[in-house]
A and B are shown apart, each in its own frame.
Chain A
């Protein structure tokens, strides 16, 4: 592997990590603060992508489509919260799993009915469609760089909100002991709704940003949801900082693993065996990494209690 190719994979890894962070941030807050397992979080990601696609067809402009898509994703998220999730906060985790699984089934199928089962694509916005000459023989799409920049900015913004503001303080307090915060006179239900709506919007944002890079299809959020869970568990549930670091780690491990595993296996095995083992080992890497982290630190890298 040439250094140029390695650099490209490195950038791809960071970009995947940033995307994962946008999904994982909402998930870890909803889980950490409300103790709510929301399997339907991946659905919010998918909805973000589809809404942006729909508004792009209406307006013809990516950025207004993005804005309209975000607002609609937020409204849909709040509607789901009011209709279903609100009644499940006090319930057993497994009840939440069952109900949110039902919502996944419904929304995936509804999307299929509305937009059809075929994959859709969204063109890259024109301003960002160029490629940047990074070194002599390395070009990288501007859109992907912009995605990394936006993701990093959102991460920083979130971090500041959680660490420096009053709402952030309540969120952190809620993550370590929600009952106590409620007993101190804070309207915890309203805090829950805010956190939930915000998380749903972030996931929708991730979906919208990912739409020009990946294809848009029903169920596109399901596999990412599992990876997002891996991220928040490695990072420590409820911790924004942990989610960010874990998301970057997972993004890099997964992307680099896929391009390096087969070559690495060729050092040990003969070529045909390596071609067999390499790809499946690459897919296993993030799970091996998670199992190892949990083995040595059963609460994740940055347990939420007292952390940001």
Chain B
């Protein structure tokens, strides 16, 4: 009884915080939804393309946050799934498969299988060793993609066509593609948020805090982690599909370790394991990079120290900052 009365105010406060996070997230997605209108007045296609790029990365970052933020599994090879997803798309188009649904099916299959196999191997390790073994698999994918000389090798491959959905070119650059990306982003955001609150998510989060206790309670944490790894891989693969449609180009450079690092940076910067952290992080990184490079060519001289200052003074990332701002007012 006593325990319940003690924990009660906490849960009330927590649900309030989640509600606020939900509102902030919905506001962000609404803001993104009217971007095509806003860019009519300022920025035009240039800004719209930038927003699309940021949204695609946000999908990948949210999927990575499922691993890092909720599972405590720092994967340093997540860009491999972006690369695989875009290459499956590109190769399917080059070989004459035009339907978006069969292509997406193949993306899910390839990324899911790759995640299943490499996840089963990687999850034997933990901590830094997990970081490094996922890096190893990421690098293998990267060098594998560079060896596909029939599909451009090092240089990548320009796509002359985009996938069709029931005969319509919804994924052609323009408002069709924009809203496709937005819908996938919104669904991913909802899905990962719901998943984290579900029983599955609770076990996953408990495993982050203490795997031994979770095991003692009779859960096979390995299975939960492997499923999370596969889900995250598939979601990032779908982001890769969208990225191939958006860029109309596939390149091994999508799968470099620098890109995997970038995704991690987005997740940490935004705030790990929070409802909107990865979304905020991805938007922030892409837009701030572009914004700063308008001011000076040497924008990294500003961005680098900015990251250091954020770490030193803004704990919990951007989502934490927004949370505290809301709490004060």
- Chain A positions near chain B (C-beta within 8 angstroms): 31, 37, 84, 87-88, 91, 93-95, 97-99, 101-110, 112-113, 222, 226, 229-230, 233, 237, 276-277, 279-281, 283-284, 287-288, 290-291, 294-295, 298-300
Contact = CB atoms under 8 A, between A and B. Distances in A.
Contacts of B310: 98
Contacts of A107: 304
B147 A294 contact: no
- Interface SS of chain B: helix, strand, loop or mixed? helix
Given A99-B311, A101-B307, A233-B132, A295 B268 contact: no
A303 B206 CA distance: 28
Nearest to B261: A101
A257 to B, nearest CB: 12
Contact of B136 (A95, A237, A280, A291): A291
A280 B147 contact: yes
A284 B308 contact: no
B301 A94 contact: no
A277 B150 CA distance: 12
Given A97-B264, A287-B136, A291-B121, A106 B128 contact: no
Q: Which 8 A-B pairs have the closest CB atoms?
A: A106-B304, A102-B307, A280-B147, A105-B304, A109-B300, A287-B136, A99-B311, A280-B143
B129 A291 contact: no
A46 to B, nearest CB: 14
Contacts of A91: 311
B82 interface: no
B124 A295 contact: yes
Nearest to B125: A298
- Interface SS of chain A: helix, strand, loop or mixed? helix
A233 B311 contact: no
A84 B301 contact: no
Best-surrounded residue of A102, A277, A284, A295 (most CB of chain B within 10 A): A102
B212 interface: no
A288 B143 CA distance: 12
A294 B305 contact: no
A276 B147 CA distance: 6
B308 A99 contact: yes
B272 A290 contact: no
Contacts of B133: 290-291, 294-295
A102 B304 contact: yes
B42 interface: no
A10 to B, nearest CB: 24
Given A113-B301, A295-B121, A298-B125, A102 B132 contact: no
B137 interface: yes
A98 B265 contact: yes
Interface string B259-278: 00100110011001000000
A255 B139 CA distance: 17
Given A226-B257, A294-B125, A298-B125, A105 B136 contact: no
A300 B68 CA distance: 23
